[in-house]
């Protein structure tokens, strides 16, 4: 139906251009709010009424007459009706709606995808410091980041996935000290274990059982390997630096296991320390100073971030000579731009909201041609986990939170991905473990996957060559249920484009649930494997196309489409 819509849109564009030169740019269709009013609608007559100084309803009548005279509307449109002050509702012929079945079956996994646009984008997500296992918040971020990457890939972008983490700093020092205490035989609760709640260092000591595992493997002089580093422990209880490097490699390996279980892969791991060792931080500060965007006050170096909409100027370099945390962030994003990424998206928790204005201010102040609003941000809230009707807050593995691996082990990868993507990122979400493993229609991922498996079962029972369905006669697909299903299939490409533009993979979950419901309604209304060969083949073609779109949409979410359940 994409071909049909393209032909109709071109006919509308030419008709508008005849009415008013330049008005063809306003050619657009929308979906009527009430399905019975039609399949497509246009408000063009109301938009042109004022510049043409005509009554919008009379203009709509004139436009309808022009459209009825075109070949495209004669071929594909059943009726044109004017409603209200000048809405034009368009009802398509069954043959027009049936075209989508051929398009889906011909294009298969490419249905809904746009041609490569030659543009590169980078999505930074997860970016957890290597101080512990990935928690469910990281899981939400992993699902969001991967799905957003997949969405933009369908729109023709060359997408690059990056994981950024701090491999130095106070947190890593605390990790090393926590490990050393475990190596020395101490554990949380012992007199030697820091517990002062007013001391930020002892307050943040890592108490989970995973620290004991790190200590044991360090003493055993084991070698740990992750995607971006490898290290062998010396076993020396006094070598704190060696212990630090071993702990970082160990936890990066653990995080890799979490990500593998979640089927998330990264193209690159970027170290915060590299921004200092490569001189990028110093070069960034120098560039901002030379641009006249900094000043000295109270022994500190400040950025004039208020020049770029920030609510106050920000300290870049403190009195002690150390840099505040947003300075390496600016250097990092300058590096992203210099690497040729025209679009950059950061997936982060809502606690990072305050960094947006200062990072963007630093990038604008650098005056290197970076557009305003670079980078884009998608901020997400944390996730509550409920199991057996009660909230779960603590994991033995982590000591203070539920890990992503816990969630996957309690349910499965598909359920975790689909559930974590089923709401807008900035809305709070409660993950119901019991619902995620339920095999009924209340479980949304089961409901969608079952629709796909149900179709595969029908196709298997038929036993014919599915490749031949692309060319069968579709005239029998004229029932209201069949036409509703075809119209929904036709909306898939536009849904993908809008979901990508809005960084909204939850739109894909909503669409898939609607498509599954529409298929189940169709299945209940019409038998597919009937005696009449022509009718049977037409209905098989429709359900095969539905299975393909379910498969494609689930793939965007990183969720499997099982053939049996």
Q: What is the DSSP string of 235-274?
A: --TT-HHHHHHHHHHHHHHHHHHHHHHTT---SEEEEHHH
- When pLDDT is cut at 50, 70 and 90, the band that residue 401 belongs to is confident
- When pLDDT is cut at 50, 70 and 90, the band that residue 192 belongs to is confident
Alpha helices in 301-412 (DSSP H): 326-338, 355-365, 404-410
pLDDT surpassing 90 at residue 45: yes
pLDDT tens-digit readout, 301-311: 999 999 998 99
The pLDDT of 340-356, averaged and rounded, is 94
For the chain, the first-to-last Cα distance in angstroms comes to 31
d(Cα 463, Cα 527) in Å, to the nearest integer? 16
d(Cα 381, Cα 336) in Å, to the nearest integer? 25
For residues 523 and 395, the model is more confident at 523
78's tokens: 């059943």
Q: Can you tell me whether residue 200 is helix, strand or coil?
A: helix
Q: Can you tell me whether residue 387 is helix, strand or coil?
A: strand
pLDDT tens-digit readout, 87-96: 999 999 999 9
- When pLDDT is cut at 50, 70 and 90, the band that residue 198 belongs to is low
The pLDDT of 457-475, averaged and rounded, is 96
pLDDT tens-digit readout, 232-243: 999 999 999 999
Q: What percent of the chain has pLDDT over 90?
A: 87
The pLDDT of 543-562, averaged and rounded, is 98
- When pLDDT is cut at 50, 70 and 90, the band that residue 196 belongs to is low
Alpha helices in 77-135 (DSSP H): 94-107
pLDDT tens-digit readout, 467-496: 999 999 999 999 999 999 999 999 999 999
Domains in the chain, start-ordered, CATH in brackets?
2-92 (3.30.1360.70), 278-380 (3.40.50.620), 441-557 (1.10.730.10)
Contacts of 357 (CB under 8 A, 6+ apart): 305, 308, 309, 310, 311
pLDDT of residue 299: 95
pLDDT surpassing 80 at residue 395: no
Residue-averaged pLDDT of the chain:
93
The pLDDT of 45-64, averaged and rounded, is 94
Of the candidates 143, 41, 56, which has an alpha carbon nearest to the alpha carbon of residue 554?
A: 143
pLDDT tens-digit readout, 273-286: 999 999 999 999 99
pLDDT of residue 202: 44
d(Cα 436, Cα 218) in Å, to the nearest integer? 38
Q: Can you tell me whether residue 289 is helix, strand or coil?
A: helix
445's tokens: 């991922």
236's tokens: 């020396």
- When pLDDT is cut at 50, 70 and 90, the band that residue 35 belongs to is confident
Query: Do the Cβ atoms of 106 and 44 come closer than 8 Å?
Result: no
The pLDDT of 504-517, averaged and rounded, is 98
pLDDT of residue 200: 47
Contacts of 299 (CB under 8 A, 6+ apart): 319
pLDDT of residue 399: 64
Query: What b/e sequence results for 431-453 when a residue is b if at least 16 CB atoms lie within 10 Å of its CB, and e otherwise?
Result: bbbebbeeeeeebbbbbbbbbbb
């Amino acid at each position: 139906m994409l071909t049909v819509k393209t032909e109709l849109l071109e006919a509308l564009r030419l008709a508008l251009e005849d009415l008013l030169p330049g008005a063809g740019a306003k050619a657009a269709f929308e979906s009527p709010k009430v399905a019975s009013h039609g399949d497509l609608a246009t408000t063009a007559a109301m938009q042109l009424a004022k510049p043409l100084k005509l009554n919008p309803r009379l203009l709509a009548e004139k436009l309808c007459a022009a459209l009825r005279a075109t070949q495209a509307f004669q071929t594909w449109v059943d009726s044109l009706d004017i409603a209200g002050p000048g809405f034009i509702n368009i009802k398509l012929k069954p043959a027009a709606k049936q075209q989508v079945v051929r398009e889906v079956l011909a294009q298969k996994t490419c249905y809904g995808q746009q041609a490569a646009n030659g543009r590169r984008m980078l999505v930074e997500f997860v970016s957890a410091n290597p101080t512990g296992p990935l928690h469910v918040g990281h899981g939400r971020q992993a699902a969001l980041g991967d799905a957003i990457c997949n969405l933009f890939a369908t729109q023709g972008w060359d997408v690059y996935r990056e994981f950024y983490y701090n491999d130095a700093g106070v947190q890593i020092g605390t990790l090393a000290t926590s490990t050393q205490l475990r190596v020395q035989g101490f554990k949380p609760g012992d007199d030697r274990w820091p517990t002062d709640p007013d001391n930020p260092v002892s307050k943040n000591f890592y108490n989970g059982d995973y620290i004991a595992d790190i200590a044991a493997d360090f003493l055993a002089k084991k070698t740990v390997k992750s995607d971006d580093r490898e290290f062998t422990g010396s076993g020396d209880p006094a070598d704190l630096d060696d212990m630090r490097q071993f702990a970082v490699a160990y936890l990066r390996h653990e995080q890799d296991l979490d990500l593998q279980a979640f089927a998330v892969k990264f193209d690159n791991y970027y170290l915060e320390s590299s921004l200092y060792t490569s001189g990028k931080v110093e070069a960034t500060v120098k560039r901002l100073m030379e641009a006249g965007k900094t000043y000295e006050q109270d022994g500190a170096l400040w950025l004039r971030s208020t020049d770029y909409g920030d609510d106050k100027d920000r300290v870049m370099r403190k009195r002690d000579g150390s840099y505040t945390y947003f300075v390496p962030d600016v250097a990092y994003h300058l590096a992203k731009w210099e690497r040729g990424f025209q679009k950059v998206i950061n997936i982060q928790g809502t606690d990072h909201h305050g960094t947006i204005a200062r990072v963007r201010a630093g990038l604008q102040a650098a005056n290197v041609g970076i557009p305003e609003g670079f980078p884009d941000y998608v901020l997400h809230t944390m996730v509550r986990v409920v199991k057996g009707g009660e909230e779960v807050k603590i994991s033995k593995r982590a000591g203070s939170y539920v890990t992503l691996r816990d969630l996957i082990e309690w349910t499965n990868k598909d359920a975790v991905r689909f559930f974590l993507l089923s709401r807008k990122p900035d809305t709070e979400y409660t993950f119901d473990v019991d619902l995620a493993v339920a095999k009924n229609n209340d479980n949304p991922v089961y409901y969608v996957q079952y629709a796909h498996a149900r179709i595969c079962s029908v196709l298997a029972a038929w036993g014919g060559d599915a490749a031949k369905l692309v060319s069968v006669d579709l005239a029998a697909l004229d029932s209201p249920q069949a036409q509703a299903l075809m119209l929904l299939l036709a909306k898939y490409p536009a849904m993908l484009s809008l979901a990508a533009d809005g960084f909204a993979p939850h739109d894909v979950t909503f669409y898939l649930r609607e498509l599954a419901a529409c298929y189940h309604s169709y299945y209940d209304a019409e038998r597919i494997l009937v005696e009449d060969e022509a009718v049977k083949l037409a209905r098989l073609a429709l359900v095969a196309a539905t299975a393909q779109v379910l498969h494609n949409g689930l793939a965007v979410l990183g969720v499997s489409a099982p053939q049996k359940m």
